[in-house]
Amino acid sequence: MHGRATLNLYDASLARSPLLASAELPKSREGDPVFAEPWQAAVFAMTVRLHEQGVFSWSEWTEALSTELYKPGRRPDGSDYYECWVAALSRLLTELSIVSSSELEALVKSWKRAAEATPHGKPIVLDSDPLR
């Protein structure tokens, strides 16, 4: 998988987390996590931070991620790895009643509207959603 580490200095501390040893992350030759897109680094950082704050145990997380990783229909090249992270995190937060599925669905729709309203080359922010 091609990509580069995109964590900033603050987030780079997450890359040294002992939890990383149990995760099968795509890694560089130096052993650092590789992220092809900034959102991949963001979902990784959110997951680790939520675990560190006690929202879920690491065994709960690995079970949720494993469920997604072993679902049929995955891309053979593994390029959907972080999409599995998003699906696992969404499902886990819903199961733990941290967020409802309707709240997640509304947020996804809001991001899509924001993306459609954002000029090419500009960062997508939720404030760009015309319905917010």
List pLDDT tens digits, range 17-66: 544 444 566 777 887 778 888 889 999 999 999 999 999 999 999 999 99
Q: Quick one: pLDDT band at residue 4, thresholds 50, 70, 90?
A: very low
**Closest to 82 (Cα-Cα) out of 25, 33, 40:** 40
Question: What is the pLDDT at residue 7?
Answer: 46
Alpha helices, H only, the chain: 9-15, 38-52, 58-69, 81-95, 101-117
Statement: residue 83 has pLDDT above 70: yes
Q: Is 83 left (phi over 0), alpha (psi -120 to 50) or beta?
A: alpha
Question: Domain boundaries in the chain?
Answer: 37-99
CB 25 within 8 A of CB 45: no
Q: Quick one: pLDDT band at residue 90, thresholds 50, 70, 90?
A: very high
